[in-house]
Amino acid sequence: GQQVMQIPQYQHVQEGEDFTTYCNSSTTLSNIQWYKQRPGGHPVFLIQLVKSGEVKKQKRLTFQFGEAKKNSSLHITATQTTDVGTYFCAGPGDSSYKLIFGSGTRLLVRP
């Protein structure tokens, strides 16, 4: 079945440093979504990418969808302690309504 892999599993950065997480799918995706889960919290939707090569920005966060629509990335510029959490990508499974989540990248930020 369709799999979504994320790397790295874990990253610990100094506040102010940049951070990037990568998401790779075994199949071409019609779209990809990103979620953030704070420690002890639930996943919260960040963004959806649909077009090949699409780039979207939300303040310090930049999201990219690969040209082949099989990979995506999330880059955070100048991390802050409020960025702490686990970032998940998610793509449609064997049907459009079935969202398959990656294993997530856990971000820790040293103040």
Partner 1 sequence: GAGVSQTPSNKVTEKGKYVELRCDPISGHTALYWYRQSLGQGPEFLIYFQGTGAADDSGLPNDRFFAVRPEGSVSTLKIQRTERGDSAVYLCASRGRTGAGELFFGEGSRLTVL
10-14 and 105-110 beta bridge pairing = parallel
Q: Is 71 in the site for partner 1 (CB under 8 A)?
A: no
Rounded to the nearest 10°, the torsion over CA 62, 105, 7, 15 is 60
Please state the separation of Cα 42 from the chain's center in Å. Answer: 15
Closest approach of partner 1 to the CB of residue 78, in Å = 26
Q: Is 99 in the site for partner 1 (CB under 8 A)?
A: yes
Cα distance between residue 48 and residue 80, in whole Å: 23
Minimum CB distance to partner 1 smaller for 59 or for 111: 59
Q: Binding residue for partner 1 (CB under 8 A) from 24, 31, 73, 77?
A: 31
| Residue numbers at the binding site for partner 1 (CB under 8 A) | 6, 31, 33, 35, 41-45, 47-48, 88, 90, 93, 95, 97-104, 106
